[in-house]
């Protein structure tokens, strides 16, 4: 991972085993650095490796992925690295990383917990809008059976609802625009 910028604070999550916690084998040499470490002198990245100065910052990543046989597409890699951490058992499954939830599954006891479980895996890129809409409707029904969301008209619907029920928003919130119930 390459991180470049003028940061005042940067937080990262790194997964794996702490090397100092691992048992050392008798054949492995032990290293000890006496005194302080010297600060390395920063050197600029070569333009071929600097995504910040590239016309397409994904070029380097796409080229590295192309070296892997049957590599997953970049959008899936991004979702798995930055959005969803797969559970440890998923890594060993033969279909990994192509584990996608069945959003069209409609159990009788659909609730928000079940919806949360479904969204713990990335949604496939080729899921039709109708399936996404039905899933959103089932989530809305789990919240309040009378409310239906539409991806294309959500803002308009919410603004109309807010105009009809301004007491629920409070005096500090205003919206303009319709909600069908």
Name the residue ranges covered by the structural domains of the chain. 56-99, 101-145, 150-181
At 124 the pLDDT is: 85
For the chain, which residues score pLDDT lower than 50?
Answer: 170-181
Tokens 């939830």 appear where? Answer: 101
Question: pLDDT, tens digit, for every residue of 133-147?
Answer: 989 988 888 887 655
Residue 65: the pLDDT is 92
The answer to whether residues 179 and 160 touch, using CB atoms and an 8 Å cutoff, is: yes
Check if the beta carbon of residue 154 is closer than 8 Å to that of residue 137. no
Q: What is the largest CA-CA distance in the chain?
A: 75
Q: pTM of the full predicted structure? A: 0.45
């Amino acid at each position: 991972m390459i991180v470049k910028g003028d940061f005042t604070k940067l937080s990262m999550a790194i997964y794996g085993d702490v090397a100092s916690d691992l048992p050392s084998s008798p054949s492995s040499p032990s290293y000890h650095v006496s005194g302080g470490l010297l600060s390395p002198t920063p050197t600029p990245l070569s333009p071929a490796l600097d995504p910040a100065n590239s016309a397409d910052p994904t070029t380097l990543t796409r080229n590295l992925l192309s070296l892997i046989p049957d590599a997953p597409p970049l959008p899936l890699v991004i979702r798995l690295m930055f959005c969803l951490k797969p559970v440890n058992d998923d890594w060993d499954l033969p279909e990994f990383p192509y584990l996608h939830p069945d959003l069209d599954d409609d159990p009788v006891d659909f609730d928000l917990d079940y919806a949360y479980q479904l969204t713990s895996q990335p949604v496939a890129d080729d899921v039709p809008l109708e399936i996404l809409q039905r899933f959103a409707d089932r989530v809305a029904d789990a919240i309040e059976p009378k409310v239906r969301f539409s991806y294309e008209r959500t803002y308009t619907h919410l603004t109309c609802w807010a105009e009809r029920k301004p007491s629920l928003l409070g005096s500090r919130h205003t919206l303009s625009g319709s909600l069908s119930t």
